[in-house]
């Protein structure tokens, strides 16, 4: 009987557990190799001034080009990267690429002079002992000014090691690097602590923008968030704008900046360059057209 039970237990649990563990190990191995071989791509999504549609900067979003599984989105591997510590070399790769690309654009296009590049940083990455030193080395090597870099962190960085996190954030602020609080509205989102933190920018999570048309409660919350952030002297970026109507509502709330598929999906650097060339050209044409009709 015991043997039978053992067998059935084995049949029910073991193969599944086994294949799950094997798969996880496999993915971890693949990710390690991807980081080593740099099978990662940095995508860019524009951040737009909603009042004049001008580009103010870009958010960098990493993608993993897996040899057999195709493109993998960050939500499916960043948690694993954090768990395994691979986030540290991965994050370094993204930062290096983002700064290099920004400097290229800044030297090639006059419109790019004041563009700011946003880079997502996870808690584990931020708290690694030499994060600030490595970041400074990248800035120096790429000749990038600290004020042209904005690091995005989510509220989850405050889940542990709060004094340490605060120390690093203040250090970054002291160096002139800008800071954004990402995905605001999804975590604890305590409005009362905002003024104590060194964030220049508040990014409102996509979930608030998505059903803006139909959900009046969300509109109310959004209005309160924008108003508070503005009073605290912060910039507000709305994430995930997909329709002209959402944009109009955000403008009515005096939300200054936005990002989303309405403007552009995240694109690789070449496609993004083509996108902003076309965009800047059409803006110039519009301006010339306005002048002619005035």
Q: Which does 75 bind (CB under 5 to 8 A by kind): Mg ion, ligand C2E, none?
A: ligand C2E
- Told to check if 155 binds Mg ion by CB under 5 A, we report no
Binding to ligand C2E in span 96-115, by CB under 6 A = none
Binding to ligand C2E in span 183-222, by CB under 6 A = 183, 206
| Cα within 13 Å of Cα(209), Cβ side | 29
Minimum Å gap between C-beta 239 and ligand C2E is 6
Binding to Mg ion in span 229-258, by CB under 5 A = 239
- Told to check if 94 binds ligand C2E by CB under 6 A, we report yes
CB nearer to ligand C2E: give 6 or 279: 279
DSSP designation for 206? H
Per-residue binding letters, 194-233, with Mg ion (x by CB under 5 A): ----------------------------------------
Among 21, 29, 73, 215, binds ligand C2E (CB under 6 A): 73
d(CA 270, CA 122): 26
Could you tell me the CA-to-CA distances from 262 to 121, 152, 168, 240, 250 in Å, in that order? Answer: 25, 22, 35, 8, 13
Instruction: Write down how long the chain is.
Output: 294
Among 61, 102, 144, 222, binds ligand C2E (CB under 6 A): 61
- Told to check if 240 binds ligand C2E by CB under 6 A, we report yes
121 CB neighbour count, 10 Å cutoff: 22
d(CA 199, CA 188): 16
Minimum Å gap between C-beta 192 and Mg ion is 22
- Told to check if 60 binds Mg ion by CB under 5 A, we report no
Size of the site for Mg ion (CB under 5 A): 5
Binding to Mg ion in span 114-153, by CB under 5 A = 120, 152
d(CA 39, CA 42): 10
d(CA 267, CA 28): 26
- Told to check if 155 binds ligand C2E by CB under 6 A, we report no
Could you tell me the CA-to-CA distances from 153 to 100, 180, 214, 248 in Å, in that order? Answer: 21, 6, 29, 27
CB nearer to Mg ion: give 22 or 191: 191
User: CB of 226 within 8 A of CB of 236?
Assistant: yes
- Told to check if 30 binds ligand C2E by CB under 6 A, we report no
Size of the site for ligand C2E (CB under 6 A): 24
DSSP designation for 212? T
What is the distance, to the nearest Å, from the Cα of residue 63 to the centroid of all Cα atoms in its chain? 12
Instruction: Name residue 61's beta-bridge partners.
Output: 43
d(CA 188, CA 184): 9
- Told to check if 183 binds Mg ion by CB under 5 A, we report yes
User: CB of 242 within 8 A of CB of 276?
Assistant: no
Among 34, 35, 62, 88, binds ligand C2E (CB under 6 A): 62
Residues that bind Mg ion (CB under 5 A): 120, 152, 182-183, 239
Residues that bind ligand C2E (CB under 6 A): 45, 61-62, 73-75, 78, 91, 94, 120-122, 152, 182-183, 206, 239-242, 259-261, 266
């Amino acid at each position: 009987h015991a043997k039978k039970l053992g067998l059935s237990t084995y049949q029910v649990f073991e193969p599944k557990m086994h294949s799950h563990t094997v798969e996880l190990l496999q993915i971890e191995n693949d990710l390690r190799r991807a980081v080593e071989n740099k099978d990662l791509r940095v995508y860019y999504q524009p951040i737009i001034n909603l009042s004049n549609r001008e580009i103010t900067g870009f958010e960098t979003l990493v993608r993993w080009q897996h040899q057999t599984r195709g493109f993998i989105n960050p939500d499916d591997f960043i948690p694993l990267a954090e768990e395994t510590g691979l986030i540290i070399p991965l994050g370094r790769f993204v930062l290096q690429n983002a700064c290099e690309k920004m400097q290229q654009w800044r030297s090639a296009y006059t419109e790019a002079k004041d563009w700011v590049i946003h880079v997502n940083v996870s808690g584990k990455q931020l708290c690694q002992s030499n994060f600030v030193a490595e970041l400074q080395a990248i800035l120096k090597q790429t000749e990038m000014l600290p004020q042209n870099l904005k690091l995005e962190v989510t509220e989850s960085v405050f889940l542990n090691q709060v004094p340490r996190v605060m120390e690093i954030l203040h250090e970054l602020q002291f160096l002139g690097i800008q800071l954004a609080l990402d995905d605001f509205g999804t975590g604890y989102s305590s409005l009362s602590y905002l003024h104590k933190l060194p964030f220049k920018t508040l990014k409102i999570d996509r979930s608030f923008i998505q059903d803006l048309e139909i959900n009046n409660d969300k509109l109310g919350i959004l209005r309160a968030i924008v108003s508070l952030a503005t009073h605290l002297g912060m910039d507000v970026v709305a994430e995930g704008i997909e329709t002209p109507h959402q944009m109009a509502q955000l403008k009515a709330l005096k939300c200054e900046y936005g990002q989303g598929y309405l403007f552009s999906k995240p694109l690789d650097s070449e496609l993004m360059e083509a996108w902003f060339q076309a965009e800047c050209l059409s803006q110039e044409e519009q301006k010339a057209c306005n002048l002619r009709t005035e």
